[in-house]
Chain A
């Protein structure tokens, strides 16, 4: 009796194990395949494009083409780097100070203020961009880096405040209090004690915000035309009247994605906190 029951249980376990592996393999395939396919396509000649074989003669021509005229993807690469870099450089210091204040001090209207800053990340970008489009048009700022940096700050700042507050909340306050007693002013405490202690968190937040800005599409689509076009908008340019140049899209896609893969794997452990703000550990 016991023996047969054990055998049945063992068999069931084996079936479940097989099922589990099958599901995981499917998940792996679904996650990786689009990336792998894009990567493969980037090295294909146009004639191989719709061949579903893995056997083709790889070429670097596509990468040469996208960097040459008329595509000049290098310019978009530069624009993306400048816009994302400047956005992060402006946003992170401001957000760190605010997050510190929210984390450490009691103040009037703190709840309402924090709530407002956080709630803004739920605002659809499309409602924000309308007035900015009109404003920038009047100021002659359309199609400039500055315009993109300004609107991207709208997305990035609430995230950064939230994320950094999570990191700061996790830093024990004793060292700061020790420094206050030891004779430091509050600003000195922030510079000497808090920043070095929360530095990894600041870095993670900066990387996260960089990725958000780098991948941003809507603002760039509406506010740029030629000079300030970023990579996500840049790739749409490969859809021409003569048809979609998939091999060039794939090459540019690799160009956009590789740096983000690297950055996101650097901060992998903390990536989840970005959007959930420590609501989920």
Chain B
């Protein structure tokens, strides 16, 4: 087990910079999630840690040792790939045993370790099948077993759940979390799915354009997004963002939208953010402002109400029993303690005093 540190890491191909001067300290035993949209550099970062890509500049340290010039096999890491990267011509047993075979572990010793790893992910009955005879979920387990079989110092997981169906994703997610907790191995996990990031991570690094926009615990990232990008990226449905003007702690937007922000020292163009669950709809006249209903969507556990407030459309999460006609007028009440204000020019968060 070891900590991983990235120091001023840059990766560029020709004119395109995938990762820009990025530094990150991953603690021993930590579950670190790199989260971002496709093309944000998260996978490139992970591949550089693995040794599958060479950094253009900067250093990678695993357990305090600089590993830039080490091939993947000398970095003592294990990786789970997006499409699992199984060896199609080998049985499950041989797939899991391959890392051991390469380390010269033979015969009964190898079989026992393979069996133990397979048991952890409930694969024992399938040991003699080939990957193409397995379901997606089973293949995923083979990849996991192959990663844990030799107790690496670092786990790397590249979108390991993205090829599973929704139901399996939820259960496997819990298994990965449990496994990481049990083994205590430093884990770097790449995903574009914010739910995975929120549920799995000790800390999340939200990335965009090759840079880390915010690095913190899931709670902080959700409650205090550092900038507009993080605010818009985290949360489903996403945070409502309204463009407007801010002066003397008061935010106003076209069409009579207004709110009190508690940020005194800022004036000018700003963006107000409020999460759907922090907006309540009620009878007209009972809230901060009245607006007409644009759409009502039932999701099962809640009702998403989209209202047209001036130029902006605001989504509110209402109780699942809530009903209203499209076009009727309702009142919106914004939870003043959970408003987010961002400077329009810098996109940075403005923290209330």
Contact = CB atoms under 8 A, between A and B. Distances in A.
Say if the two chains contact directly (CB < 8 Å). Answer: yes
A177 B98 contact: no
Contacts of A268: none
Interface string B33-75: 0000000000000000011100000000000000000011101
B88 A178 contact: no
Interface string A165-193: 00000001011111111111100100011
B103 interface: yes
Interface string A90-123: 0000000000000000000000000000000000
Nearest to A176: B85
B317 interface: no
Nearest to B50: A181
Interface residues of B, number: 26
A180 B81 contact: no
Interface in B79-104: 79, 81-89, 98-99, 102-103
A188 B73 CA distance: 11
Contact of B99 (A172, A177, A182, A193): A182
B102 A178 contact: no
B77 interface: yes
B85 A174 contact: yes
A175 B73 contact: no
Given A174-B82, A184-B102, A188-B102, A179 B87 contact: yes
Contacts of A180: 51-52, 71-73
B228 to A, nearest CB: 35
Contacts of B72: 177, 180-181
B78 interface: yes
A185 B73 contact: yes
A181 B147 CA distance: 9
Contacts of B87: 175, 178-179, 192-193, 196
Interface residues of A, number: 18
A183 B105 CA distance: 12
Given A182-B73, A183-B102, A177 B85 contact: yes
B103 A175 contact: no
A197 interface: yes
B151 to A, nearest CB: 13
Contacts of B84: 174, 178
Which of A176, A179, A188 has most B Cβ within 10 Å? A179
Nearest to A174: B85
A172 B81 CA distance: 12
B146 interface: yes
Interface of A: 172, 174-185, 188, 192-193, 196-197
16 contacts: A174-B82, A175-B86, A177-B50, A178-B79, A178-B84, A178-B87, A180-B72, A181-B77, A181-B79, A181-B156, A182-B78, A183-B73, A185-B73, A192-B87, A192-B98, A196-B89
Given A174-B82, A176-B85, A180-B51, 11 more contacts: A174-B83, A177-B52, A178-B81, A178-B84, A178-B86, A181-B75, A181-B79, A183-B73, A183-B102, A184-B98, A193-B87
